Amino acid sequence: MEIPDELVGARVVVRHRVGEREGRPLYTDAVGELAAEGADAVVVRTRRGPVRVERSAVVAVRAVPPPRPRRAPLAAVVRLEGLCADAWPALVERRLGEWRLRAAGGYTGRANAALAIGDPGLPIPAALEEVRRFAREHGVPPRVHVPVDSPWDRAVATEGWGLDVGHARGAEVSVLVAPVPEAAPEPPDGARIELPDRPAADWWRLAVGGPPTPAQERVLAGAANTAFGALRDRDGALLGQVRATVVDDHVHISVLEVVPAARRRGHATALLTTAGAWGRERGARWAVLQVALKNDGARALYDRLGYVEHHRYRYLVPPA
């Protein structure tokens, strides 16, 4: 049958013939993102992998809504948020019960927000006053980092704190996970990837624009078991970078960047998979990363590489 062009790239269910039994045709369904493969076939990217279907075998196709994401157990969310916080250490951290008050001179939202998971040991209004006091002490805006729809999200919002709409990178964030790859492919164009345990000078220039401040040094290079991936061309010039930190059974991946002139050549994929394979060699079973909901390009890349959403978090700030 004819497949409408507007369905390419959409999530669909494709019913197609797969043979016959006792003279009667057999059919099956493939559900996933539809991609064209020439004039004779299409590919449906299902959860279990791509399924190639001859166009002549298709008997029906229709668009379907995206699947409802499975909500991770609250205990799993708390554990993963803790691991990610360990992989991204603030310059100053103070415990408030099970909350973590953090400041790093304003460098990144995560390192300058109170991670609100667990019991702060105080009534919520008093805990939020401690968040304000800590922020004033360290010269950063008061901000709370809470898993979306968690008890702490609801409790803080009840006190009038709202979404940090002024957050430059985006106040709503998706936490994605994927199994670590067993091995990484060779990077394209004859490039090579180095994984030193200390960042080179050009790595810092690409990451923060020059020599790091003490806060940047602490956040990016303060965690143990960290590699500073550098993608270099044949002449040694830096084309891209990635940061990978092993915490328990996860490898936390961050600072994924490719210089503009080298983009759309598969370099980001090479950096990401190499970082994951490096983590596997050090005991990691899962890769985890965070991406702002509004960053559609990065989310599409991670989706193609098999990352799925574990949970979301958001930044809340006090009323004006």
CA gap 78, 223 in Å, rounded: 20
pLDDT(69) > 80: no
Summarised one tens digit per residue, pLDDT across range 78-111 is 999 999 999 999 999 999 999 999 999 999 999 9
- What pTM, to 2 d.p., does this model score? 0.79
Contact 264/300 with Cβ under 8 angstroms? no
**What does DSSP assign to residue 113?**
S
- The three-state secondary structure class of 272 is helix
Q: Where are the domains of the chain?
A: 5-63, 74-171, 181-284
Contact 232/242 with Cβ under 8 angstroms? no
Task: Tally Cβ neighbours within 10 Å of residue 33.
Answer: 17
- Least confident range from 60-74, 139-153, 168-182: namely 60-74
- Return all residues near 175 (Cβ < 8 A) that are at least 6 apart: 80, 81, 84, 288, 289, 290, 309, 310, 311, 312, 313
pLDDT(68) > 70: no
Task: Tally Cβ neighbours within 10 Å of residue 51.
Answer: 17
- Return all residues near 81 (Cβ < 8 A) that are at least 6 apart: 115, 117, 147, 175, 313
CA gap 50, 42 in Å, rounded: 10
- Return all residues near 95 (Cβ < 8 A) that are at least 6 apart: 101
| Span 181-284 CATH architecture | 3-Layer(aba) Sandwich (3.40)
The helix (H) or strand (E) run that includes residue 268 is helix 267-281
Which residues are paired to 31 by β-bridges?
13
What would the mean pLDDT of 289-306 be, rounded to a whole number? Answer: 92
pLDDT for the residue numbered 61: 92
pLDDT for the residue numbered 48: 78
Contact 118/81 with Cβ under 8 angstroms? no
CA gap 78, 290 in Å, rounded: 15
Take residue 56 and report the two structure tokens written for it.
Answer: 């002549």
Take residue 98 and report the two structure tokens written for it.
Answer: 């099970």
Q: How far is CA 184 from CA 267, 276, 277, in A?
A: 12, 8, 6
Summarised one tens digit per residue, pLDDT across range 222-267 is 999 999 999 999 999 999 999 999 999 999 999 999 999 999 889 9
φ/ψ of 197, rounded to 5, equals -95, 5
CA gap 98, 117 in Å, rounded: 6
Instruction: Return the CATH number of the domain spanning residue range 5-63.
Output: 2.30.30
Angle at 208 between CA 204 and CA 214, to 5 degrees: 85
**Which alpha helices (H) appear in 195-239, and where do they start and end?**
201-208, 214-221
- Return all residues near 49 (Cβ < 8 A) that are at least 6 apart: none
Mean pLDDT, all residues of the chain: 94
Helices (H) then strands (E): counts for the chain? 7, 17
Contact 212/243 with Cβ under 8 angstroms? no
Confidence of residue 1 (pLDDT cuts 50, 70, 90): confident
Total number of residues shown for the chain: 320
Take residue 87 and report the two structure tokens written for it.
Answer: 């992989």
